[in-house]
Structure 1
Amino acid sequence: MKVKATVLSENSVFSNLGAIAEHGWSVFLETDHGNYLFDTGQGKALLNNAKVFKKDLSSIKGIILSHHHIDHTGGLLAAVKAVEAKTVDVFAHPDLFKEGYLVRMGYKYIGVPFSRVDLESYGANFKFNTEFAEIAPNVYLTGEVPRLSDFEHGDTDIVQQTEEGYIQDQVMDDQSIIIKTEKGLFVILGCSHAGIVNILNYAVQKTGENRIHTVIGGTHLWCVSDEQKEKSIQALKELNIERLGVSHCTGFEVSMSLAQEFGQKFFYCNVGTVVKV
């Protein structure tokens, strides 16, 4: 399996005239078994950057969503409309349409900005999963990742609305892509709400492949305690990752620490970054 990933949405952009950045995450994924779109950013950058980098959204076989937050689902309607076929599979957790809010921004709504009915009327064919699932040969979705580490804790500023009021959202819908290649695993993270160490350990456990070649995406380490940052970085070093390309919700401070620890194995994964395995 050979794969090529091009970042279409991320918080920063460098030396790519015409491309724009936004607080979000989206990756155009080219595999031996077709093209996929992983997340859609906030929706401000997707179509523009796909055009800039000559990525044909009409060609995608499926849209994969890491979780329900708007910085990953805001471009979903545009992506569905762009697909040439009358329908397109949208892989997601069944909690996709729950009501999520961000406390630190005054209980701002951060869920999917479209209704399921509207998305389906334009051709979205939702395929929900909670378990580890193979969506194409050697291409897997983690489903719900077991939270086993004793130092990875959720973001307490994220809540969901229920009939009983607001409760902390554990973001159980968080899932990542795992691709088995000849060189080892290629893991594409969304925001790592399940914990990046939990995710990578689960990827090894479910695939039986202990070589982690490349990891890209958001680590959600910017807002955690110093203790969690230190323990996470140490655990990542012990996993012997060949290439680590962080982005989005990692934060500059943690990115610099990872760059120091991983040296030549580290890179920042911003808009226009192309990763081949």
Structure 2
Amino acid sequence: MRLTVLVDNATLTDRYFLAEPGLSIYIEDGETRVLFDTGYSGILVENARKMGIDLLRVGEIVLSHGHLDHTWGLDALLRLHTEAIIEGRERVEPTFVAHPDAFLTRSCDGVGEIGCHLSVEELFRHGKVLLTAAPLWLTENLVFLGEIERRFPFEPAPSGGYIYTPDGIRDDTVPDDTALACRTEEGLVIVTGCSHAGICSIVEQAREVCGEDRVADVIGGFHLLDPPAEQIEGILDYFAKVRPAALHPCHCTGLAAKIALAKVADVRETGVGLHLEYG
């Protein structure tokens, strides 16, 4: 398994890419190419081009959840595919994979739409759409974890936003938040978007779905910008028991949380341009 960070809040030192508050990670598992999230503005297209990554060859576009910093880059990706069709260039028709709630309208703090502004019907014009709340194996070793069971009381449910469902408006606890997990020789590699469902709940579900207790790495947003002390304490206790070989917290993970996590795990720098390979 190989992965490359295309979008993050920062770039690695002396790597001349674009950054923004968002996330996108390119993954290769054997011959399968997966794009996990698309960032906010579309800079993933330029960054991928500079890295020599052909996004037109990506078979699955997986969304961790519906928020704008993970889905609004879809516009640029769809333009890339549209231009390729018009110009007669080779491409793979993508399959979009997400939780069924990922395309619902969301609002927060007076902002009318903080969710994906593309509908499922619009995406169907550009490829296949596969919506599932259940785990879905993308390859023999790479799995979409589906809706995360929220297992730990120290990881509070998100609050403050609203989601507009066919049955009415309700508080948005981000039920669509999910992640990917890949079985490798070193253990599980878990790729998260924002971890609204709770980083420990995500890791525990990955271990359960994959039948593997060893964790080689967790990379992505941990949703720890200003967490309460009891949440950090619970997370540190959990990771001290799980003993991951490495952690790559980024995007929505604050400096204080990274320093705290470094007490119980090998926390490594993450940013646009990072390339990792696992056995």
TM value normalised by structure 1: 0.91
What does residue 85 of structure 1 align with? 91
2:104 is the alignment partner of 1:98 = yes
5 Å matches for 1:252-267?
252-262=255-265, 265-267=266-268
The Cα of 1:254 is off from its aligned counterpart by 0.7
The Cα of 1:15 is off from its aligned counterpart by 2.6
Residue 162 to residue 64, structure 1, CA distance change in 2 (3 Å): closer
Match of 1:275, SS?
A: strand
The Cα of 1:97 is off from its aligned counterpart by 1.4
The Cα of 1:176 is off from its aligned counterpart by 0.5
Superposed CA deviations along residues 117-145 of structure 1, whole A, max 9, x for unmatched, are 33332x23111111111111111011011
Which residue identity lines up with residue 152 of structure 2 in the other structure?
Answer: S
Match of 1:118, SS?
A: helix
Contact 2:15 2:273 in 1 (8 A): no
Which residue identity lines up with residue 137 of structure 1 in the other structure?
Answer: E
Superposed CA deviations along residues 168-191 of structure 1, whole A, max 9, x for unmatched, are 211111110011111111110111
The Cα of 1:37 is off from its aligned counterpart by 0.4
Which residue identity lines up with residue 82 of structure 1 in the other structure?
Answer: L
Q: 1:241 aligns with which of 239, 244, 251?
A: 244
Q: Distance in 2 between matches of 1:64 and 1:16?
A: 29
Contact 1:10 1:25 in 2 (8 A): yes
2:56 is the alignment partner of 1:58 = yes
Contact 1:39 1:63 in 2 (8 A): yes
Contact 1:141 1:177 in 2 (8 A): yes
The Cα of 1:218 is off from its aligned counterpart by 0.5
Which residue identity lines up with residue 149 of structure 2 in the other structure?
Answer: P
Superposed CA deviations along residues 195-223 of structure 1, whole A, max 9, x for unmatched, are 11111111111211111111100011214
What does residue 275 of structure 2 align with? 274
Superposed CA deviations along residues 215-243 of structure 1, whole A, max 9, x for unmatched, are 10001121432211221122112111001
What does residue 43 of structure 1 align with? 41
What does residue 136 of structure 1 align with? 139
Contact 1:183 1:213 in 2 (8 A): yes
5 Å matches for 1:1-40?
3-40=1-38
> 5+ unaligned residues in a row in structure 2: which ranges?
82-89
> 5+ unaligned residues in a row in structure 1: which ranges?
none
Match of 1:237, SS?
A: helix
Q: Distance in 2 between matches of 1:77 and 1:124?
A: 14
Residue 29 to residue 86, structure 1, CA distance change in 2 (3 Å): closer
What does residue 219 of structure 1 align with? 222
Superposed CA deviations along residues 10-57 of structure 1, whole A, max 9, x for unmatched, are 011133453111000000111103211000000332111111211110
Residue 113 to residue 225, structure 1, CA distance change in 2 (3 Å): same
The Cα of 1:61 is off from its aligned counterpart by 1.1
Provide the aligned C-alpha RMSD in A.
1.8
What does residue 84 of structure 2 align with? none
The Cα of 1:85 is off from its aligned counterpart by 3.3
Q: 1:205 aligns with which of 208, 227, 233?
A: 208
Identity of aligned residues (%): 32
Q: Distance in 2 between matches of 1:15 and 1:187?
A: 24
> Structure 1 residues 158-167 or 217-226, which shifts more?
158-167
TM value normalised by structure 2: 0.90
